[in-house]
Amino acid sequence: MYKIVSRLLIYGDMPKDTILMELADIVRRMDDGSQKKEELMTRVFTQIKHLLQVATDYGFDKNLWHNYLTFLLITSENPFSITCEKVGANEGSVNDFAKGDFRAFKQLFAYDFNRLEEFLGVDCFSRISNYQAIGKKELMYNKNVSEKVQALSLRLEEARDENEFFDCVTGFYRDYGVGMFGLNKAFRISSGADGQVVFHAINNMEAVMLEDLVGYEIQKKKLIDNTMAFVQGRKANNVLLFGDSGTGKSTSVKAIVNAFYPQGLRMIEIYKHQFKDLSSVIAQIKNRNYKFIIYMDDLSFEEFEVEYKFLKAVIEGGVETRPDNILIYATSNRRHLIKENWSDRDDMESGNGLHRSDTMEEKLSLVNRFGVTISYSKPSQKEYFHIVTELARRAGIDMEEKELCAEANKWELSHGGISGRTAQQFVNYLLGRIV
Mind listing the pLDDT tens digit for each residue in 200-222? 988 778 888 888 888 889 999 99
Sign of the C-alpha dihedral computed for residues 242, 246, 250 and 254 taken in this order: negative
Q: What is the mean pLDDT of the chain?
A: 84
Looking at per-residue confidence, does 100 or 146 come out higher? 100
Q: For residue 345, is pLDDT > 70?
A: no
| Rounded (10°) angle between helices 64-75 and 19-32 | 120
Kindly state the percentage of the chain with pLDDT values over 90: 40
Residue 309: pLDDT band with limits 50, 70, 90: low
Per-residue pLDDT of 29-78, as tens digits, reads 999 999 999 999 999 999 999 999 988 888 888 899 999 999 999 989 88
Predicted confidence band at 277 (pLDDT cuts at 50, 70, 90)? confident
pLDDT band (50, 70, 90) for residue 138: very low
Is it the case that residue 304 has pLDDT exceeding 70? Answer: no
Q: What is the pLDDT of residue 113?
A: 94
pLDDT band at 135 (very low <50, low <70, confident <90, very high): low
- In this structure, of 118-132, 189-203, 387-401, the range with the lowest mean pLDDT score is 189-203
pLDDT digits (tens, 9 = 90+) for 152-208: 999 999 999 999 999 999 989 888 888 888 888 899 999 876 778 889 988 778 888
Q: Strand pairing of 326-332 and 291-296?
A: parallel
**For residues 384-394, average pLDDT:** 91
Distance CA 336, CA 243 (A): 11
- Give the Å distances, CA to CA, from 138 to 59, 176, 207, 425: 10, 22, 12, 23
Task: Read off the pLDDT band of 360 (50, 70, 90).
Answer: very low
Q: Which residue has the higher pLDDT, 69 or 399?
A: 69
For the segment 9-33, the average pLDDT, to the nearest whole number, is 92
Strand partners, 242: 332, 375
Indicate the pTM of the whole model: 0.77
Residue 364: pLDDT band with limits 50, 70, 90:
low
Residues 242-252, mean pLDDT to the nearest whole number: 88
Q: Taking residues 12-31, report their average pLDDT.
A: 92
pLDDT per residue as tens digits for the range 75-93: 898 889 988 888 777 777 7
Distance between CA atoms of residues 293 and 208, nearest Å: 17
Between CA 85 and CA 79 the distance in angstroms is: 10
